[in-house]
Structure 1
Amino acid sequence: MFAQGARPGERAGLCGAGTKHAGPICRWEAFGGRLLSITLVFVHTHDHAEPASNQRPAGLRVLDLGDCGLASVADLGVVDSTNSYLARVLADSPLEDARERVAGVFAGDGSERSVTEAGPAAPIVLSLALTDDQTRGRGRLDRSWYSRAGQSFLGTWAAALPTDLLTGPASGWLPTAVGLSLMEGLREVLASCGAQALDQGSPDDGTARDGLEGDGLALKWPNDVFCAGRKLAGVLCESLLMEGGWSILIAGVGLNLFVPADDLPIAGSTSLQLHFGPLPAYRPLRDGLARAVSTRLPARLTDLAAGGDEARLSLRQQALANSWTLGRRVRVNPVAAAAVEGKALGIGLDASLEVLLDDGRRINVSTGDVGVLPELAEPGQAGDKRVKGQRG
């Protein structure tokens, strides 16, 4: 899923101060919009581009979330985008090693800890940036991401990973690893605060609570978190490729917590407060979710970094068990071909989506736009018409 032929030393980042040249960015997912996508783009700086600040935001506060697997975590206050900020700061860091950059991202240097001496088998180094408000939140194809202060979980994890993982055949599982960790973390937080489902949904319109745990939470390929058939959260993954064998995964998450129904940006989206209650106040809910996800993500990334098929088989099993996409009709919009429709049948060992097209062909989708369609009768059958449902 990463750029073919990408070389360590090429910087996959955003146009920002000090970024003289940008290499390939792999964008897997959308924060907004009806169709999920995996899009490979190249970003280059332009002399006339508006400069973006790499200075520490005035409201930045270093946080202590306890022992949850993070090297550092900070609340950025108001920021343009957590993904954009981390991409700029990490790309322009004077430190040569990706692990040192991630560990010291909020300190301004890597002096507080040394992670390179532990060798290649050291635990994955992660840091987390949180914000209450983004002024330029973005998703797939730089589409804007709706947010108002105190209504959504907005955060970005930076993980130092072996470059071979970010550019190799297992890279397709990285977005899924983030999505699964997010969904499991959310389940833990809901259980710990005693939140109960407010409704059971309806099987007639695809909103029944038929998730693995009966809570309506499921994963839309490869990483959207859905609740009762509607989009609750999205993930945007990007890469910063470096020399030295280690590079950086930048994984941003947006999850609607307290967005009122009337303010939801699209018909197929939803918000946590509409499905579960009672919920904690915004700040403890946000921090609790950050801790819960951060305790799960390192193990999945460590297993993938170790190589071999075991980690991929485990992620595939988890993705299959929690999938909202499989068994549903989808529309596939390839990068350079006409759109086709069919039924999602499975997920391959390379994380691709297996689709049976209406003409009988089977394809494996790893790039392009894939949207889950409203419920349809089987092609060619009587009553082949759209019924009430939501587009993913």
Structure 2
Amino acid sequence: MGFSLSPLADQDGFRLEAFDTIGSTNAVALERAQAGDPGKLWIVSKQQESGRGRRGRAWTTSHGNLAASLLLTGNFELKTAATLGFVAGLSLADALDAVCPAAAFKVGIDGAGNSGSGKSVLRVELKWPNDLLADGAKLAGILLESTQLPNNRLAIVVGIGVNVVVYPDDVPYPATSLMKLGANCDAETLFLALSDAWQENSRIWSEGRGLAEIRKRWLARAAGVGSEVAVRVDGAVLRGIFETIDEDCRFVIRDNEGGRVKIAAGDVHFGAVASANAE
């Protein structure tokens, strides 16, 4: 089976470029934008050799994993376009619900979620700002990049990387893969569901007009609400309790002095041990 778009995505004019191996799906998408591509273009691959994550970190994928980048163009405000990361997280979670119902997932932070039947309930959680967790470990990451186009237009690339068969073991945080979790799902099947779920969530988002509903849905799947958290921001570590994300999707914590702190960007660590490791 090769990569293909869902019927809804195809009907809405989305296009697909599929590769067996690629340097970086985000980089190719940005190249397409600079060459004048009109957007609504998915770039996908089962192996990425020189991908990148947040803050310039390397993000390579072994063969069989999923690397997918969506190019969108328009008269977006950058602040509004940045919230597409939350649309991506919801879309990926919805896709996993659709194609991996038999996987041995648990709740992301506390391990709850057993149905009482001896089988774990499929549930993944969204970790602010751009990760997806399963059983407390990182299963997927999201990276947004942008470039300015002529006539005040903006190109946004939504990059999504999923550990389908292999996960890294040389990272400072727990990681996992769909295969390890017992899911019988390949990259092609997951992408098909992702391209379908994107249609629904982007329709709700509606160029930012539906952000309140996206925020509500994201919080319903959020990891660590009410938990102890440490956030690294520009070299400093802020500690407190994760309360919510605000109307602009900023991370809101109640600090140790009882004040509320809103954070626009940072690395989040949950739990007492993770907080200590944030140092």
* Normalised TM-score (structure 1): 0.61
Aligned match of 1:323: 222
Match of 2:43 among 121, 124, 129: 129
Instruction: Check if 1:271 corresponds to 2:169.
Output: no
Match of 1:190 among 100, 103, 112: 100
Q: Is the 8 A contact 1:128 1:156 kept in 2?
A: yes
Match of 2:16 among 58, 73, 86: 73
User: In the TM superposition, what are the counterparts of 1:25-44 in structure 2 within 5 Å?
Assistant: none
SS in 1 for 2:219: helix
Call closer, same or farther: CA 1:77–1:330 in 2, change over 3 Å. same
TM-superposition CA deviations, 1:137-173 (whole Å, max 9, x none): 21122211242212x1111111224323xx24x3342
Instruction: Check if 1:256 corresponds to 2:169.
Output: no
TM-superposition CA deviations, 1:57-106 (whole Å, max 9, x none): xxxxx964351414211212322111111112321x1x4xxxx532xxxx
User: In the TM superposition, what are the counterparts of 1:183-222 in structure 2 within 5 Å?
Assistant: 183-191=93-101, 195-197=102-104, 206-209=110-113, 214-222=121-129
Call closer, same or farther: CA 1:390–1:130 in 2, change over 3 Å. farther
Aligned match of 1:371: 268
Dislocated runs of 4+, deviation >4 Å: none
User: In the TM superposition, what are the counterparts of 1:276-287 in structure 2 within 5 Å?
Assistant: 276-277=182-183, 279-280=184-185, 285-287=186-188
Call closer, same or farther: CA 1:63–1:132 in 2, change over 3 Å. closer
* Paired letter, 1:256: N
Instruction: Check if 1:143 corresponds to 2:86.
Output: no
Instruction: Quote the offset at 1:249 in angstroms.
Output: 1.4
Q: Is the 8 A contact 1:155 1:254 kept in 2?
A: yes
Instruction: Check if 1:338 corresponds to 2:236.
Output: yes
Call closer, same or farther: CA 1:315–1:69 in 2, change over 3 Å. same
CA distance in 1: counterparts of 2:269 and 2:260, whole angstroms? 17
* Paired letter, 2:180: L
Instruction: Quote the offset at 1:135 in angstroms.
Output: 1.7
* Paired letter, 1:371: V
SS in 1 for 2:9: coil
Call closer, same or farther: CA 1:196–1:271 in 2, change over 3 Å. closer
CA distance in 2: counterparts of 1:63 and 1:286, whole angstroms? 8
Aligned match of 1:27: none
Aligned match of 1:295: 196
Aligned match of 1:179: 89
Unaligned runs of 5+ in 1: 1-61, 103-125, 377-385
* Paired letter, 2:33: L
Instruction: Quote the offset at 1:219 in angstroms.
Output: 0.5
Call closer, same or farther: CA 1:243–1:325 in 2, change over 3 Å. farther
Q: Is the 8 A contact 2:164 2:178 kept in 1?
A: yes
Instruction: Check if 1:351 corresponds to 2:255.
Output: no
Instruction: Quote the offset at 1:306 in angstroms.
Output: 4.8
CA distance in 1: counterparts of 2:260 and 2:114, whole angstroms? 27
Call closer, same or farther: CA 1:357–1:210 in 2, change over 3 Å. farther
* Normalised TM-score (structure 2): 0.84
* Paired letter, 2:68: G
Call closer, same or farther: CA 1:160–1:228 in 2, change over 3 Å. same
Number of aligned residues? 268
Match of 1:83 among 26, 30, 37: 26
Aligned match of 2:68: 155
Structure 1 stretch displaced more, 172-181 or 67-76: 67-76
CA distance in 2: counterparts of 1:208 and 1:73, whole angstroms? 38
TM-superposition CA deviations, 1:207-237 (whole Å, max 9, x none): 33479x9423110112311001111000011
CA distance in 1: counterparts of 2:152 and 2:121, whole angstroms? 42
SS in 2 for 1:232: strand
Q: Is the 8 A contact 2:128 2:268 kept in 1?
A: no
Q: If you compute each CA radius of gyration, which structure gives the higher value, 1 or 2?
A: 1
- Aligned identity (percent) is 22
